[in-house]
Amino acid sequence: MKVQTKSKKVNKAWLNSHVNDPYVKAAQKDGYRARAAYKLKEIDEQLKLIRPGDTVVDLGCTPGAWSQYVRRRLSPDGAAVGQLNGRIISLDLLPMEPIEGVQYIQGDFREESVLAQLTEALQGGKADIVVSDMAPNLSGNGTTDAARVAHLVELAVDFSCHHMKPEGALVVKLFHGGSYDEMVALFRQTFKVVKPIKPKSSRDKSSETFLVGMGLK
């Protein structure tokens, strides 16, 4: 006799929920690689962050949904291919399928050599917008995971302080609990305007949220 394990039940429930998720369906229809595109879309539409001609750095880009969204925003007619009014530099530890007009760097953002490649890609210029969907592999240990998340956020803030225009904006993903209050305090020390946003496309059960910092102090 076969016994269905709890994990199989959970996996089946998650799969069913995923397949019927309206944002998953929208991503398939709109040609985005992941439903995450709508998280950045909602943040951008609310705050009017990305403008034609901008240089945008996408940290933790794989599979590329955020870069796809930015690419369309910088296209004069919103197309996924063709003319591009601006620059997109994307980075991730994992490989990413090419996106037309996007300069991709594979490497670990925590390593100096990879940061140097990113700096070189900016060609002496500075980013208008930095977006980060970076998240560590979670261990299940709350204290350890909070420290890992905080470290990635701190790296994104440090990068922005050195390589983003004073009037620019940084968008990062983080999670409630753990180091959340500490990261909000860091943003308030660094940016003139700080906005926490939980997009509608972020799953209700998820503790993820996004922090937006606008204008360096």
User: pLDDT tens-digit profile of 59-89?
Assistant: 999 999 999 999 999 998 888 899 999 999 9
pLDDT value at residue 13: 53
Write down the catalytic residue from 173, 195, 198, 205: 173
The b/e string for 80-116 (b: 16+ C-beta within 10 A; e otherwise) is eeeebebbbbbbbeeebeebebbebbeeebeeeebbe
What percentage of the chain carries pLDDT values higher than 90?
A: 69
* Predicted pLDDT at 159: 94
Asked if residue 2 has pLDDT above 50, the reply is no
- Please report the pLDDT score of residue 5 as a whole number: 43
Average pLDDT, the chain: 89
Band of pLDDT at residue 121, cut at 50, 70 and 90: very high
Taking 70 as the threshold, does the pLDDT of residue 154 lie above it?
Answer: yes
What would the pLDDT profile of 190-212 be if each residue is shown by its tens digit?
A: 999 999 999 998 877 778 899 99
The count of other CB atoms within 10 Å of the CB of residue 167 is 10
The pLDDT of residue 4: 44
pLDDT exceeds 90 at position 149: no
Q: Could you confirm whether 173 is annotated as catalytic?
A: yes
Please report the pLDDT score of residue 3 as a whole number.
Answer: 38
Structure confidence at residue 6 as a pLDDT band (50, 70, 90): very low
Average pLDDT over residues 179-187: 94
What is the Cα–Cα distance from 45 to 164, expressed in whole angstroms?
Answer: 21
Phi, psi values for residue 193, rounded to 5°: -125, 130
Which pLDDT score, from 0 to 100, does residue 189 have?
98
Average pLDDT score over residue span 124-143: 84
Is the overall model pTM greater than 0.85, yes or no?
A: yes
Cis peptide before 63 (omega within 30 of 0): yes
Amino acid at 125: G
Instruction: Please tell me the predicted confidence (pLDDT) of residue 144.
Output: 75
Partner residues linked to 213 by β-bridges: 170, 194
Given a cut of 50, whether residue 140 has pLDDT beyond it is yes
Provide the pLDDT for residue 177: 75
- What does the pLDDT read at residue 207? 81
Q: Mean pLDDT, to the nearest integer, of 7-30?
A: 70
